[in-house]
Amino acid sequence: MKSLKSRSPSNSFRFAGADLALGIGVVMLGAGLLVLRNGLPRWMFGDPSQSAQVSSLWPAMLFLTYAGLGMLVLVSIPFIDLLLDRYRVAKVGKRLLIGSAVILKILGIGVLFVPPLAYRLVFGKAPTNLGYFGFWALAAILSVSAYVCLVLHRTAKRQRVQERRLRHESENLGTALARAELAMLEAQVEPHFLFNTLAHIKRQYRKNPAAADRMLGALIEYLERALPAVRSANWTVGDEIGLIEVYLNILALRFGEQLRFVISMQEPARSIRLPGLTVATLVENAVRHGLAPKKEGGTVTVDATIEDETVVIAVCDDGVGLRMSSGSGLGLATTRARLRSVYADKATLHVEPRQPQGVRAILTIPVAA
């Protein structure tokens, strides 16, 4: 499955910081231009009359002019968005270029009407020598800068929303994968064991009903333990070892002296949690791939200990030894995937040859997951 790549939270914070810094820069630019008005070329703010009355009212006229031009740009932005969306302009650079060009065009038209109207409202007469280019130039600088901030902010916000969505989908996929892996594990561990045991019970009822009853009781106990194991969130090492003991008892009833087993567990390890059927898969592999092909059978040992805040569970057999299917089969691959989904890289599963013969599978999980 392909990995889902998304922007990291730290990058999102940096992107949001860039938006804020750019927005503050635009505000400071506008404020600085107004503060330094008298020191800038007069064309930037028009050419006010020399009379005291007109000069004192000139800031009010400037305010109305740029407020009017700003409102004109603000109202036009939704229509610019509709235009860009209609022609499916997705790239940020193209949207900025086209949107800025449209804003400059709108300001070019608006500056022919807004400043004269503001002049009439403030001074009550027709304007003369307003310097339209100056109004257009300053309005263009501020409007395009604000538009750039808006587009970048929208892009950053969209990316952060997409990041959250991808993260949510990734988590859902992880959950679905874990369920699928668990279903695969159930399908691998249970059917052939269940069918073979039922077939053996059927044959036993013809020869030895008492033995058949004992095996049927053991099978019922196994199912009562195994079914909750695949769904329980509180499954422990003690539960797993108990399930394995019942499982091996059933096999011992089937195979007699050909199958022997030894189980040991340190008491502190009993309450440590782990995914259900994790160790049972290793035991099933040992019996199926190690002892079943061996004519005289053999012994399976299961040992659970605690070493340095880690639970170490060793499953060993003295069967035919490590083969291709023993170390890379579906059961082991699924077990490793489940361990990664629960413990990340804090759990390990290592399968190795055992001397003088057989296979050793060593599972390590953290005490505090």
User: Considering the domain boundaries, does residue 141 fall inside one?
Assistant: yes
User: Considering the domain boundaries, does residue 251 fall inside one?
Assistant: yes
Last residue of a domain, one of 151, 170, 189: 170
pLDDT at 241: 94
Last residue of a domain, one of 170, 197, 216: 170
User: Considering the domain boundaries, does residue 215 fall inside one?
Assistant: yes
Are both 106 and 235 inside the same structural domain? no
Are both 146 and 225 inside the same structural domain? no
Q: Tokens 């989904």 correspond to what residue? A: 341
pLDDT tens for residues 223-259?
Answer: 888 777 666 778 899 999 999 999 999 988 888 888 9
Are both 163 and 14 inside the same structural domain? yes
Between 66 and 262, residue with greater pLDDT: 262
User: Considering the domain boundaries, does residue 176 fall inside one?
Assistant: no
Q: Where are the alpha helices (DSSP H) in the chain?
A: 9-35, 52-86, 92-110, 114-123, 132-207, 209-229, 237-255, 278-285, 324-328, 330-343
pLDDT tens for residues 291-300?
Answer: 988 888 899 9
- Sequential DSSP letters for 150-166: HHHHHHHHHHHHHHHHH
The range of the structural domain enclosing residue 261 comes to 208-366
Number of domain units in the chain = 2
Name which of 84-93, 185-194, 291-300 the model is least confident about: 185-194
pLDDT tens for residues 203-219?
Answer: 888 888 888 888 888 88
User: Considering the domain boundaries, does residue 324 fall inside one?
Assistant: yes
